[in-house]
Structures are given as structure tokens and as C-alpha cells.
Amino acid sequence: MIPKAFKRSLWVFHINSGSCNGCDIEIIAALTPRYDAERFGIKLVGSPRHADVIAFTGPVTNDMKDKVIRIIEQTPDPKVIVVIGSCGIGGGVFHESYHLAGPIDKLYPNAKYFYVPGCPPRPEAIIQAFAKAWEWLEEVEKK
């Protein structure tokens, strides 16, 4: 990670749109002492209005479609979404189901997306994705 990135903390809001919990527990594992993402200032927050980045898991079920879009709209611009897990990216094992609304980047295209493939990805990969999102945010800010 570049040292400049330590200028500000990165606050993350976690949305589960119907995932199997595998990625969700790995996100928490990334925050707890072994991987300790909090030492970089990466922190889960309880409200989308405080978030710099959204950690997004799950293939978006029909019922969650409107709800996740409403939550994403509440986050400040620029909207950065880190999609964690294969099912959020391309449906994974759940693709073709009758109760899914579609991958989030097609439902909400006006955001910068970062992808972490894996079922579930390792905590290191999740932290790296946040670091990438962070670098991108810093660059946008410079401009």
C-alpha cells in the first residue's frame, strides 16, 4: 500500500444481497486481529451515509433489488463498490435462478466497480481490493 493512502481512513458499508454468508464471514475475519484491516483505518460503519466504499456480497435476489439500490444511492459520491465473491460478479452457482434480479453492476452501472472473485475469496484478497479502491479514490481527489 502506498504511504499516501494513510492520509485518511476508509470507511466501509457492508451490503448482503442474498449471499451464502461465506464472503460475509471472511469480511469480518479481515477486520479481526489476524488480518486486522483496522490498522489501516479500514472500518465497517453502520450507516451508508458515512461510507466511502461499499462491500457488496450476493447475487441480488428479487426482493433485495430495490433495497440495495436505495442504499447505494444514499452513499456519498463518487460511488465505489467492491463486489466480493463469484456470485456477486456473475451469479456463481446461482445464475439462471428465477428469483435473482441480476448482477449489481448491471443494475446500477453509475459506479466504479472493483471485483474480488473467489467462493469465498481470502481475507487478504478482500483487503487488497479495498487498497485498490482507496488508490482510485485518492487519484480522483487529486484531479
Partner 1 sequence: MAGGGGEKMNVDEAKQKFEEAGYETWITEKMAGVRNKAARKTLWVRVQKEKFREAMQFFKDMADQYPHFSIISCTDLGSNVELNYHFALGYGSHLEEYVVTFKVSLPKDDLEIDSITDIFPAVIYSEREIQEMMGVTVKNIPDGRHMFLTKDFPSGIYPWRRDESGVKETNKLYERWKDEA
Partner 2 sequence: MRHDYEIAVGPIHPALKEPIMLRLTIEGEEIVDVDVIASQNHRGIEWIGMNRNNAIQSLYLAERICGICNFCHPSNLVMAIEEIADIEVPDRAQYIRVIQGELERIHSHLLWAGVAAHEIGFDSLLHYTWMVREKVMDVLEAVNGNRVTKAIIMYGGVRRDIDEEKAKLIRKMCSYYREAFNKLAKLFLEDDTIKKRTREIGILKYEDAMKLAAAGPTARASGVKKDVRQDFPYFAYPDFDVHAITPDKLLGYTVGDVYDRIVVRLLEVKQSLEIIEEALDNMPPGDIIAEKKLVKLMAKIKASEGEAVARYEAPRGEDIHYVMLKQGYEPLYSWKVRAPTYINILSWRPMLLGYQIADIPIIAASIDPCLSCTNRFAVVKDGEEKIINADYFHRLSIEKTRRLKK
Q: Which residues of this protein are in contact with partner 1, per CB under 8 A?
A: 59, 62-63, 90-91, 95-103, 106
Q: Determine, following the binding rule CB under 8 A, whether residue 18 of this chain makes contact with partner 2.
A: yes
Q: For the sheet with 112-116, list strands across it.
A: 43-44, 11-16, 53-57, 80-84, 112-116
Q: Determine, following the binding rule CB under 8 A, whether residue 32 of this chain makes contact with partner 2.
A: yes
Q: Determine, following the binding rule CB under 8 A, whether residue 22 of this chain makes contact with partner 2.
A: yes
Contacting partner 2 within 49-68 (CB under 8 A): 49, 57-59, 61, 63-64, 67
In angstroms, what CA-CA distances link 56 with 3, 13, 94, 142? Answer: 26, 8, 16, 26
The nearest distance, CB 94 to partner 1, in angstroms, is 8
Q: Determine, following the binding rule CB under 8 A, whether residue 69 of this chain makes contact with partner 2.
A: no
In angstroms, the CA 12 to CA 50 distance is 8
Strands 43-44 vs 80-84: parallel, antiparallel or unpaired: unpaired
DSSP state of 76: P
Q: Determine, following the binding rule CB under 8 A, whether residue 92 of this chain makes contact with partner 2.
A: yes
Residue 25, binding choice from partner 1, partner 2, none, Cβ under 5 to 8 Å by partner class: partner 2
Q: Residue 108: phi, psi to the nearest 5?
A: -135, 80
Enumerate binding residues for partner 2 (CB under 8 A).
14-26, 28-29, 32-34, 45-49, 57-59, 61, 63-64, 67, 71, 87, 92-94, 96-100, 119-120, 122
